[in-house]
Structure 1
Amino acid sequence: MRAAEAAVHLPKSYRVRAELEQLLVGLGEGDAVPAERELALRCGVSRETVRQAMHELLVEGRVERRGRGTVVASPKLVQPLSLRSYTEGALSQGRVPGRELVSLGRLEADEELAAELDLPVGAQVVHLERVLLADGNKIGLESTYLPAGRFGEMAETFDPAESLYAAIRATGVVFTSATERIETVLASPREAALLDSAASMPMLLLHRTSLDAGGVPIERVRSLYRGDRVAFVAALRE
């Protein structure tokens, strides 16, 4: 089939999305996007078609809801896949990192967690859960588990507003290597509420186990990031 003929059969939402992308080029961060009714008239399609195209842009983080309207979104925070902390990654891009404490305490390691941290089942673990912010916007939910035998004092002394990696390094522990797995998921109702997100919004889920120079596990981290606000980059070498 020739290109011209194929173009005739493209879904209307695809054509509308292309027109909306051109519209966004002429707008700046935080600028209001015209209402659905206006866009439908401009593009000569139904409001439902415009709504579908706008939803795709919303999921990709090109636009965001603000009150009853839609505005051009801020650029995504691009986090490096490295042994650097979230704080270091945000600061390197000129963003202001922040954190909101959800919980900090101790729990007993179940079989899976004990295996990941090389601990006996039932061993005490420090659990820290925080909402991560960038320029005041909620971007992720981080849940960290630390062996209490090594970092037990943090359950009482750690300032949740500070960098956890900096606090760990201050004890003399050096992050040497890590294993990380990334997958896409949908947030639970609790997670979506904590991140001010819709439950239907795709999320990036990271599982990380970090080791010190002796190969001893330092932490096990479960990080859930809003796919519309965060992207990841890795430097690859042969």
Structure 2
Amino acid sequence: MEKNLQGHRPGSPVRSGIPEHGRIPKYYAVKARIADLLDELGEGGTLPTERDLAERYEVSRETVRQALRELLLEGRLRRSGRGTVVAGPKLEQPLSLASYTEGVRRQGRRPGRQLIGLEQFRCPPDLAPGIGAEPGEPVWHLERVLLADDERVGLESTYVRVARAPRLDVDFQPDSSFYGYLRDSLGISFGEADEKLETVLATPREALLIGTPPALPMLLIHRFSRDQDGRPLERVRSLYRGDRFSFTTRLRAE
């Protein structure tokens, strides 16, 4: 336990999260010891029960439970059936114009999407400028659950003018890349996009669709995209599990 409580491993928080006065909560000390156990078990390894951990570290089950809650929120653990197992590394999604499909494939995972709904509605005034529509014009709303190796990891809502993709409900395969469809079937390429990233809690409906507890932190990305000619094209609202995703980007000096 010494390396977790007093040392500093590369990539870990400074002083491993210990306050300057050196006193740490009991649950945090247990969390550090369980983290070492996870390294020993390896990805997919089954964690001992709360009772066994409480006896091993000579603490209450509530102390163990609090440590496990944090490890679950951080994505170090995941529920599997009636047990808890060591989770694999988080998916790294680039902040770029590459699609979700391309980003997941680059990491050797199998991307997928599950259709929730595809419907038309009249464009409200607040949405119109972002997708280049007139208020009241027909707009598509495409909603899909994001999958990685059949694991539900996010929820994606896409808004685009019906005039830009008039046969979306006929020609598009819902489990495929929307960007690939625009490029290959309609000759529309993406030129640039504005994105905003924030942390949120999922609504009860979103948590049910993604299969997570409502208290799990989510990463929310709002994207407004423009085509190769600079015309507004789509608005996308993407909700990603905070315990399964991290985002990367490369910065350059102007």
TM-score class, shorter-chain normalisation, is: over 0.9
Instruction: Report the AA paired with residue 116 of structure 2.
Output: V
Q: Any gaps of 5 or more consecutive residues in structure 2?
A: 1-17
Give 1:131-146 correspondences, 5 Å limit.
131-146=145-160
Determine the structure 2 residue equivalent to 1:155: 169
- Residue 155 of structure 1: CA displacement? 2.4
Determine the structure 2 residue equivalent to 1:65: 79
Instruction: Report the AA paired with residue 190 of structure 1.
Output: R
Instruction: Report the AA paired with residue 45 of structure 1.
Output: V
Once residues 176 and 156 of structure 1 are traced to their aligned partners in structure 2, the CA distance between those partners, rounded to angstroms, is 26
Q: Are residue 178 (structure 1) and residue 225 (structure 2) matched?
A: no
Once residues 43 and 49 of structure 1 are traced to their aligned partners in structure 2, the CA distance between those partners, rounded to angstroms, is 10
Determine the structure 1 residue equivalent to 2:70: 56
- What RMSD in Å do the two structures reach over aligned CA positions? 1.4
- Residue 229 of structure 1: CA displacement? 1.0
What CA deviation, in whole Å up to 9, does each residue of 1:45-95 have, x standing for no partner?
111011001000000110011122110012211100000000000111100
Determine the structure 1 residue equivalent to 2:236: 221
Q: Is the 8 A contact 2:132 2:233 kept in 1?
A: no
Determine the structure 2 residue equivalent to 1:237: 252
Q: Any gaps of 5 or more consecutive residues in structure 1?
A: none
* TM-score (norm: length of structure 1): 0.95
- Residue 4 of structure 1: CA displacement? 11
Q: Are residue 116 (structure 1) and residue 130 (structure 2) matched?
A: yes
**SS of residue matched to 1:16:** helix
Give 1:32-43 correspondences, 5 Å limit.
32-43=46-57
Once residues 111 and 42 of structure 1 are traced to their aligned partners in structure 2, the CA distance between those partners, rounded to angstroms, is 60
Determine the structure 2 residue equivalent to 1:202: 217
Once residues 169 and 235 of structure 2 are traced to their aligned partners in structure 1, the CA distance between those partners, rounded to angstroms, is 16
Instruction: Report the AA paired with residue 98 of structure 2.
Output: R
